[in-house]
Amino acid sequence: MKKILYAIFLFVILSRLCSAQLAPGWHSKDLYVQRYWKIKDGSLKEKMLLFNKDSLAKNVFVTVSKFVDRGIDQGTMADVCSLGIVGGPWKIPANKYIVVDPPKLIVNDTAGLFFKFSEFKNETTLFCGFLNPYDVPPAVAYDSSIIYLTQVLNGFESRRNFGWWELNSIVQKSGGGTTAKLMLRNIDDPVAPCILKKILIFKFPDSLTHFSTFPRAIITDGFTKDSIYSKEILRHWNSSLQYVLSYTSNYDESDSLGKKLYDLNFKFKMPKVEEPEILVTSIFVDAGSCRQELGLHFIVLP
């Protein structure tokens, strides 16, 4: 009987999804998805943390959509109903998180395909957002006690692993402290090299949707702190820019595989919270053709 009811459930859900077209992006304000890597049994395994910041439980599932180009800076997503549900359904309690294996997409061509996250609530399907099916692993992984982040929260894909975070956990206690290491590497690519230049660290004001945080201390090797009080710099970037770390390159082409690793150790202090919150540290890395947001998000629990 349960199998029959579940089959009916899938049929109803997919029927509704197949008639919908939505624009790319992440729309949910109370569901957060963080993908990460961890060493298990000697090899890297990807995991996915789903955090429900809502006061009600969520039933979340994943289907597949394809990007449809509509012209200059326009596009929409069309559901690929033939693939069915590829992840979940997962039940996430109110103000809690769960860790699951990420959805699997086994097709010959993944170009233009995205994971579509939806919530089934009161016989209605609510759209949450899209994620890329591909998550680049870290270039170097050696410690089974830590996790590796190569994407920001609800992040889209990057196929060049020139930067990643290493930390114990993204889930932290209210008022506590932690450290995280930002790993960066030069990529000696004749067409699109990634040669580290600058790291920009922003401090955005608190908003209604999240706390922003700023590292209490940064331990670096080879970086110098630039003054950012120039009006031209602030006008070009953002008034919330706190400082720029400029790197004086000692790039060694004789290094193994023509690559060199750099690490920055950040120390953080978690704010006091009375309910679960998302803590944001906004960091932008300029490495030539590899200009990328490598911010770090924490889930802070009371």
Q: Give the tens place of pLDDT for each residue, 136-158.
A: 899 889 999 999 999 888 876 56
pLDDT at 8: 44
Q: Provide mean pLDDT across the span 2-12.
A: 47
Least confident range from 197-211, 254-268, 286-300: namely 197-211
Integer Cα distance of 217 and 267 in angstroms: 5
Please name the residues in contact with 224: beta carbons below 8 A apart, sequence gap of 6 or more: 245, 246, 248
Per-residue pLDDT for 117 more than 90? yes
> Cα separations (Å) of 89 from 85, 92, 93?
8, 10, 13
Whether the per-residue pLDDT at 13 is higher than 70: the answer is no
CA pair distance 195, 162, nearest whole angstrom: 9
Q: What is the mean pLDDT of the chain?
A: 78
pLDDT of residue 77: 84
Using alpha carbons, list the distances in angstroms from residue 30 to 33, 209, 281.
Answer: 10, 9, 19
Query: What is the per-residue pLDDT for 170?
Result: 93
Which of the four pLDDT bands, split at 50, 70 and 90, describes residue 23? low
Band (219; pLDDT cuts 50, 70, 90): low
Query: How far apart are the C-alpha atoms of 167 and 239, rounded to whole Å?
Result: 29
- Residue tagged 């049929």 (tokens): 11
- Residues 82-93 pLDDT 10s: 899 999 999 999
**Beta-bridge partner residues of 165:** 149, 182
Q: Is domain 160-301 in CATH 2.20.25.90, yes or no?
A: no
DSSP 8-state assignment for residue 13: H
Distance from the Cα of residue 196 to its chain's centroid: 21
Q: The pTM is what?
A: 0.82
**Omega before residue 103 within 30° of 0, cis:** no
Structural domain boundaries of the chain?
2-131, 160-301
* Weakest mean pLDDT among 73-77, 144-148, 250-254: 250-254
- Give the count of beta carbons closer than 10 Å to the beta carbon of residue 12: 13
Q: Decide whether 2-131 matches 160-301 in CATH topology.
A: yes
In terms of Cβ atoms closer than 10 Å to its own Cβ (0-12, 13-18, 19+), residue 166 is buried
Q: What does the alpha-carbon distance between residue 114 and residue 77 come to, in Å, rounded to a whole number?
A: 9
Domain 2-131 class? Answer: mainly beta
The model's confidence at residue 230, banded by pLDDT at 50, 70 and 90, is: very low
Residue 197's nearest CA partner among 147, 235, 251 is: 251
